Amino acid sequence: MAVPSQKTSTDTNKMGRYVAVLGFFLFSTLLLTWPLARSFGTAIPGDAFDGWQNFWNLWWVKEALLEQHSHPYVTDALYHPTGVSLWFQTINIFNGLASLPIQLAGNLFWAYNAVVLFSFAVAGFGATLLALYVLCQAGATPGWQLWAGAILAGVLFTFSPFHFAHLLGHMQVFSLAFIPFYVLYMLRALPPNEGRLHSRDAAFAALFLILAALCDWYFALYLGLFSGLYLLWLLVRRQLCWSHVGALAMIYGLTGLVIAPLLAPMISESVRFDFMKPPPGQVVDLSADVLGFLIPSGQHTVWGEWAGRLRQGLPASPSENTLFIGVIPLLLAGYGLALRRLKLAFWAIAALVFVIFALGPVLHVAGEIVTLPGGSALPLPYALLLKIPFVEIARTVARYDLLVTLSVGVLAGGGLYSLLLARPNKWLAAIVIALVMFEFSPIPYPVSPPDTPSWYNVLADDDRSGAVLNLPMNWDRPGYLLYQTLHTKPLSAGYISRNDPRTYPSRIPVLSDFRHLQPDINAADVGEYAPTIFEFADIRWVVVDRYKMPGGNTLTVTENLITEIFGDQKPLYTDDRLTVYETWHNKNVRPFIEIGSEWGPLQAGPARLLPDSATIIIHSPDSTEMRLVTVSDADDSTSIHLEGKNGDAITADVGMESTWLLALDPGPNTFTIGTDEQAGILIQSLRLETPDN
């Protein structure tokens, strides 16, 4: 009976170590995010911007599933009345589902901050387990030195400046807890020179890949590239077996099967539309700078202000260019590699490869693009990856640093293990880990309490239907999403991850005036048409928020438009911050033009590019005849074609001003305008006139 007893004791000791390590990371998270613990139920960590979007994401999953019994990836709470798809939203559905019990038992702040604690503590725990496995496979022997090195790897991964930078508001990015677990089980499923299929490990790898993808689709891309790199490593070293290919096929087959219901609509949308693809140059702008890996974080407790000044010239925002690896981790990694006590060459290659990927398609140094003698930018290997379908959708390339921190963490853990073998001192281990935590320390971490105006409590108690038009709206403020979690009324617009050209604010009069701060080509008299548009878009409340109103053109244009629409009408509510108007029933509905999503973006003038063909929708209150007039930059030899809703050609016209007499039915009337000019033509005006004008 001695053997079973000894086994039970060993298992108990191992479980005790696991619990202690998890407790260490939980306590350290509370410490390094201080004072979040003091305001756990009343604020979120971050800068009060993207955090409110992810705060809303958690709320919307609960609202969709438990209140509306609808699909969480399509919402009518934003861009009412048509709604908008959220396939490319940072909705991180795992967190939405996992936080439901906490939302129901507590409040949304508890749910958000529970995600924070889980993401940091479990990520550190997972990276520790990964390092234990990798270091043992690399030649380390069990003992406290191994555990110290593994814990350091967990500390570097989960408390890296990269992780804290994205805690500012990118929940989908800081939810990286499942990444080390996937890598661990992927490695276990692909042991070198072993021909047996490790189906259990492959199944666990698939599970963690699914969970990682349900936090952020970027993670699936990163881990797919990491797996491909490891497969290539085995191939080059002649250690690849058919069982490895089978294990990867099982991992990605199971993953594809589970996520197909979500992935299929995304693929369908990306084939039909291109709004989810970043505009030209954005991938370059959101790539890493070489110095981003070497300059400390601007959030650091002591030298953050100095580091922030050094970072001012780097591309992208601080949340994207904070990629600091740390001096002590790099020294430890170099020390371990120099000794060659452990076989960690793959992790050095992985770190280098993902640094190169994070640098993007061209090389940045000190905020400047490095050019060749001819003046063209110095290309990098990631430019080739952009040719792979759907890879270009992942616009924020610097986030490949995630796998840099994981790889360097393993290397630094190996370095500390080697150091402790040479100098076996537990205090030395504790000091090194503490110094790395200090090198990354962001204490005090910024927290953001809600700034919800009190009037939204009144709106929450109003049982009437209708949407809220929040102003200003030249771009969408995440704070409006925060307020919606209180009042729950639909919004006429909303801050989403990819602007969808099918939504109304940029395509119909009045709303587009507020959106663009200038008339569009389908402009109409704002004062006369506002009642029609408000009724059409089911807008009941118009809320002007002066705290969110920058000066200059935004303030001037928005206030002028409000004056044109409401004139001397008494506001429903007003204080130092808000002025709220209630719309009225429209007795004189007017026909108006909606621009289709195929048109080019609005240009100064105004003007829009008409490609070979594009749609317009004329909304009419009744059966009537109207004259459609287009003004363009076409000359007398350029023809413009108009087709009716049945595809029948109505007529063709030439010249700068073209006119068609149309018979309209009640409701939407869809027409297609086209031109034979290959490069398209610029349209300056689309307007409706009564036939007797």
Q: Express as a percent the part of the chain with pLDDT over 90.
A: 76
598-615: average pLDDT: 90
User: Tell me, what's the pLDDT at 5?
Assistant: 46
Which tokens in the block code for residue 147?
């555990």
Q: Which amino acid, 191?
A: P
What's the distance, CA 475 to chain centroid? 16
- Domain spans, the chain: 2-440, 456-582, 592-689
The chain-wide mean pLDDT, for the chain, equals 92
Question: What is the tens place of the pLDDT at every residue in 637-647?
Answer: 677 888 886 55
The band of 202, judged by pLDDT with boundaries at 50, 70 and 90, is very high
The band of 169, judged by pLDDT with boundaries at 50, 70 and 90, is very high
| pLDDT over 60 at 261, yes or no | yes
| pLDDT over 90 at 438, yes or no | yes
DSSP secondary structure letter of residue 146:
H
Cα distances (Å, whole numbers) of residue 572 to 451, 543, 566, 580: 21, 10, 12, 5
User: Tell me, what's the pLDDT at 1?
Assistant: 38
C-alpha–C-alpha distance, residues 287 and 400, integer Å = 9
C-alpha–C-alpha distance, residues 370 and 691, integer Å = 61
Question: What is the tens place of the pLDDT at every residue in 79-103?
Answer: 999 999 998 888 999 999 999 999 9
User: Tell me, what's the pLDDT at 510?
Assistant: 96
Q: Express as a percent the part of the chain with pLDDT over 70.
A: 96
| CA angle centred on 284, ends 278 and 285, rounded to 5° | 85
Q: Which amino acid, 81?
A: P
Cα distances (Å, whole numbers) of residue 5 to 2, 10, 11, 303: 5, 9, 10, 53
User: Tell me, what's the pLDDT at 10?
Assistant: 65
User: Tell me, what's the pLDDT at 4?
Assistant: 45
Categorise residue 443: left if φ over 0, alpha if ψ from -120 to 50, beta otherwise: beta
500-506: average pLDDT: 87
User: Tell me, what's the pLDDT at 633?
Assistant: 81
Q: How many other C-beta atoms lie within 10 A of the C-beta of residue 582?
A: 16
| pLDDT over 60 at 557, yes or no | yes
C-alpha–C-alpha distance, residues 444 and 453, integer Å = 27
Which tokens in the block code for residue 464?
């009437």
Which tokens in the block code for residue 667?
């409701």
471-498: average pLDDT: 94
User: Tell me, what's the pLDDT at 9?
Assistant: 63
User: Tell me, what's the pLDDT at 632?
Assistant: 85
| pLDDT over 70 at 532, yes or no | yes
Q: Model pTM?
A: 0.93
User: Tell me, what's the pLDDT at 653?
Assistant: 66
C-alpha–C-alpha distance, residues 391 and 385, integer Å = 7
| pLDDT over 80 at 651, yes or no | no
Cα distances (Å, whole numbers) of residue 242 to 139, 186, 197, 531: 25, 15, 9, 68
C-alpha–C-alpha distance, residues 155 and 128, integer Å = 8
| pLDDT over 80 at 278, yes or no | no
What's the distance, CA 665 to chain centroid? 42
Question: What is the tens place of the pLDDT at every residue in 307-316?
Answer: 999 998 888 8
239-256: average pLDDT: 94
500-526: average pLDDT: 93
| pLDDT over 70 at 546, yes or no | yes
| pLDDT over 90 at 269, yes or no | no
The structural architecture, per CATH, of the domain 592-689 is Sandwich (2.60)
Which tokens in the block code for residue 592?
């108006």
